[in-house]
Amino acid sequence: MLQPKRTKYRREQKNVMKGMAQRGNQLAFGSFGIKTLENCWLTAQQIEAARQAITRYMSREGQLWIRVFPVKPITKKPLDTRMGKGKGDVYAWVAPITPGRIIFEAEGVPLEIAKEAMRLGAQKLPVATKFVVRRDYTE
């Protein structure tokens, strides 16, 4: 699973996600990608599940880039625990996603294969997505 090697603080506040993505909102590496249309927290497990679905359909041809990384720790207190006694332990790492953010990019496969692979990967994600193609792409 993806998670940072080390962080400055073990636990973090929730914060508010608002507005469109200011960075990571255009294709930078590949010719095809999936772009989010909503706010969400993508967990490391969801990113990994989508990555596996995409690479399996592309039958390990071409190249795939993951453009997001889970850097935010999410804490949870155990069940049957009374209120108080501090913040809970970290149980997941998430990547905060705002609309317009590119999540995956692919290169080196035909358009039809890339489109279907990205569709299968998008099914694993809890957010509405859109398939995008590089503006200067020619078959």
For the chain, give the mean pLDDT.
94
What CATH number should be reported for the domain whose range is 32-133? 3.90.1170.10
CB 101 within 8 A of CB 36: yes
The pLDDT tens digits for 23-82 are: 999 999 999 999 999 999 999 999 999 999 999 999 989 999 999 999 999 999 999 999
The pLDDT tens digits for 101-125 are: 999 999 999 999 999 999 999 999 9
C-alpha distances in Å from residue 16, one per residue of 41, 76, 92, 93, 96:
11, 18, 18, 17, 10
CB 95 within 8 A of CB 42: yes
